[in-house]
Structure 1
Amino acid sequence: MSDPQLVWIVDGIRSPFGRFGGGLREVSVVDLARQTLQAVVQRTAWPVQDVSELNAGMAMIEGGLMVPARQYAMAAGFPETLPSLTVDRACCSGMTTVGLGWRAIQSGARSTIALGIESMSQTPRLLHETRWGSKRGDLTVEDLLMLRNPLAGGGSIARSAGEEAVNRGVGREEQDAWALQSHERYFKALADGYFDDEITPVSTPGGDLRLDEQPRSDSSLEKLARLEPVYGGPTVTAGNAPGLNDGAVALILSGSAALADNGATPLAKVHSHLQIAGTPTSSVYLPGLAIARILQNAGLTPRDLDVIEINEAFAATAVVSIKTLADGDAGLEEQLAARTNMNGGAVAIGHATGASGARLVLTAARQLKRIGGRWAVAAICGGFGQTDAILIEAAQ
């Protein structure tokens, strides 16, 4: 652990993920960040004076919050001298903050905090054409939560995801089956106490929110099959896609010197970070390509992975990415599917866009330690055909 190039995940914590308009609706994104940042520092007893930078990922910056990361740092009571950066890579944002911390520590930073956060419930509509007035004609109000792809003719991301999935041999039944599995795995993990030390309560005007609000315990293949596809697409429904959610995740990353100086036992080691991009509608399979490449760079194969986390931007994303990673090997595909999102994914937990990438890293690291494995990977698509991947190694 004395190698100055090593980057360690000290620990992390997340808020419950709230439903759109649910328990976190009245909590400002700044207050959500404050509570989550203070919780991770309290849990780890990590000295904030030893943190070199705070990187915050958030996808809906257009909502009007100026310099969010700086506001989060001040709200949490961090030193005024702490540099901060806000990142917008859409859904990739939270994972990118982990990658930025990895790079910073390899360049000499002692420790960093990676924050992923989103309040989709508080994302406003945008009223265009009003700055200089309009004497005649209609005004345009844009709802950012329609999640359109301006690089693909302004069409629905959900529709293009379904079309790409079908083109790669993954139909509606497979996507519904994965969605049901996501809920089933989540509730098993919940019953086993897996989330007990991952989630920190959030204080709201209506009381403390302690549990994720999105998971549905009564989900079934029959109910999923009755749902109509959204936005005229072929397969994606409200049942095999996550909701619009609120939530925050914070992780502390450290170099070896700070780890030793603070007497901390790390959760895991960040081996590497990778970003790739493809066509504007490639997101449904891009995580599979990113995982393959980060493994190749490390001299590993998919069979070496003990834990895989792929964001369920849609159930199709996980299924198609696994198929892509297996590259035609049916036996390997089955093995990889069993190791992917073992405690449920975003279809069950929810997808707070800026936060999900950080959640995947936290979940992958915790699950790796839980099962005593060696290698884990987390990958997430976003930003109109971009993907981040993080390769994680056990701390031992």
Structure 2
Amino acid sequence: MAMARTPFGKFRGALAELDSIDLGHRLIDAVAARDPDGGILPEIVYGGAGLLGGSHLTALRQSLIKSALPDTTPSQGVDRACCSGMTAIASAAAHLRAGQGDKALAIGVESLSNTPVLLHRGSERKINSLELIDPLLLSGSVSEKTIAQYTSEEALKCGVGRAEQDQWALESHEKYFAAKRRGAFDGQIVPLRIGDTVVTDDEGPRETSSLARLAALPTVNGAATITAGNAPGLSDGAAGLVLVGGEDAAPKGALAEIVDWVQLAGDLQSGTSIPAACIARLLERNRLALHDIDVIEINEAFAATPLVSATVMANRLGADPSRLRDRINAWGGSVAIGHPLGASGIRIVMQAIDRLRERGGGIAVCAICGGFGQGEAVLLRL
């Protein structure tokens, strides 16, 4: 029924003064203000944060209390890494389909600028042996490798090298600015006042990027192909959607219908290709072919992600990989816009809806990967 997102800010950039609670409550109020049926408030709020809201206890609940919604509104946070925002949408849709209510709000929030460095407590540890842990390195106790290393390895196995990843990254920025010039994002972004400054635009996109500059960048995190140029920067931001249930939803002006969704998981090496598996599962379950899909959004956790997923889908579903790639992320993606972990799953759904609206309707699929082999996808119809 309504959707909105904040501008996405760079790490320690324009939004750094706002922690996850501040971003969350501002987003809740902004989405609620856009609801054409604002007299009926959401019965529940589902929210996702990739790193559990930074240093805050139950950040979603605190955001809700600071918002204009009644304190009696329940909330539920979800923890599926980068999938969290899309999981919030699926949770809200499931809530409505189960007849538990008529309206729900799904939000995703991330303030990576305010993510703390961790120091584990332990009675056996001596002060001089304590080790600081930075969650932003995106590694975990289940593996010694970083997510960037897994991504690079899977990409190379699929024949997707550094040059292709740099090319995709460049095109992500170019597509973003082409869409921005025609006002494609004007209806999505709500300006944020921070002190005396009003932030209206995404900070990450670079209009001056070039293949030569991208090729000159060193690789990072021990990965053979991943650089600061073909991966999204660390970002801050929030996004949200109002969902309604019941047979009378469409006549009230719904922006799109959530037809179906799927959540999958695989081994640690599967993160770059699991969006393809999620899309294939949705198509099979809904008896659709790839040519039935008008809009495809795959989150650019890395430039490698849509490239590998397109290759896997083409091989599995019988499509031309280059033509399939041309249909993905036509307005740019997270490499350009930024990737606030908990918010990106909602942003790509918003973008798919706007792309459907621009073309006058159709079917869209949105897919996202999450840390340590998680994946999710949503099927939309307008």
User: Which TM class, normalised by the smaller chain length?
Assistant: over 0.9
Q: Does 1:296 align with 2:287?
A: no
> Any idea what SS the aligned residue of 2:82 has?
coil
Amino acid at match of 1:102: A
Q: Does 1:43 align with 2:31?
A: no
Is the Cα contact below 8 Å between 1:170 and 1:319 reproduced in 2?
A: yes
> Any idea what SS the aligned residue of 1:256 has?
coil
**2:131 aligned residue (117, 132, 140):** 140
- Aligned equivalent of 2:106: 114
- Aligned equivalent of 1:199: 189
Is the Cα contact below 8 Å between 1:38 and 1:76 reproduced in 2?
A: yes
> After superposition, where does 1:21-100 map in structure 2 within 5 Å?
21-47=12-38, 49-61=40-52, 63-100=54-91
Give the aligned CA root-mean-square deviation in angstroms: 1.7
- Aligned equivalent of 1:249: 239
**2:165 aligned residue (171, 175, 186):** 175
Give distance in 2, aligned partners of 1:296 and 1:134. 53
Give distance in 2, aligned partners of 1:62 and 1:352. 11
What TM-score do the two structures reach when normalised by structure 1? 0.92
Amino acid at match of 1:379: A
CA shift, 1:42, in A, is 1.0
Deviations 1:151-203 (A, max 9, x none): 2x221111110111001111111111111110000000010110111100112
Count of aligned residue pairs for this structure pair: 381
Deviations 1:261-290 (A, max 9, x none): xx7311100000100111012110100111
CA shift, 1:73, in A, is 1.2
> Any idea what SS the aligned residue of 2:364 has?
strand
Give distance in 2, aligned partners of 1:82 and 1:231. 42
Q: Does 1:165 align with 2:155?
A: yes
Cα pair distance change 1:135/1:305, threshold 3 Å: closer
Is the Cα contact below 8 Å between 1:149 and 1:157 reproduced in 2?
A: no
Is the Cα contact below 8 Å between 2:53 and 2:110 reproduced in 1?
A: no
User: Relative to structure 2, which stretch is displaced further, 88-97 or 31-40?
Assistant: 31-40
Amino acid at match of 1:117: V
Give distance in 1, aligned partners of 2:323 and 2:205. 25
Give distance in 2, aligned partners of 1:329 and 1:271. 21
Is the Cα contact below 8 Å between 1:241 and 1:315 reproduced in 2?
A: yes
> Any idea what SS the aligned residue of 1:25 has?
coil
Uncovered stretches (5+) of structure 2, i.e. residues with no partner: none
CA shift, 1:49, in A, is 4.5
> Any idea what SS the aligned residue of 2:3 has?
strand
Cα pair distance change 1:47/1:142, threshold 3 Å: same
Cα pair distance change 1:365/1:37, threshold 3 Å: same
Amino acid at match of 1:86: G
Is the Cα contact below 8 Å between 2:24 and 2:60 reproduced in 1?
A: no
- Aligned equivalent of 2:218: 228
**2:5 aligned residue (11, 14, 21):** 14
Amino acid at match of 1:51: P
Q: Which runs of 4+ in 1 moved over 4 A?
A: 132-136, 328-331
Deviations 1:351-372 (A, max 9, x none): 0001000111111111111112
> After superposition, where does 1:357-396 map in structure 2 within 5 Å?
357-394=345-382
Cα pair distance change 1:246/1:209, threshold 3 Å: same
CA shift, 1:218, in A, is 0.7
Uncovered stretches (5+) of structure 1, i.e. residues with no partner: 1-9
Give distance in 2, aligned partners of 1:335 and 1:375. 18
- Aligned equivalent of 1:5: none
Cα pair distance change 1:133/1:63, threshold 3 Å: farther
CA shift, 1:349, in A, is 0.2
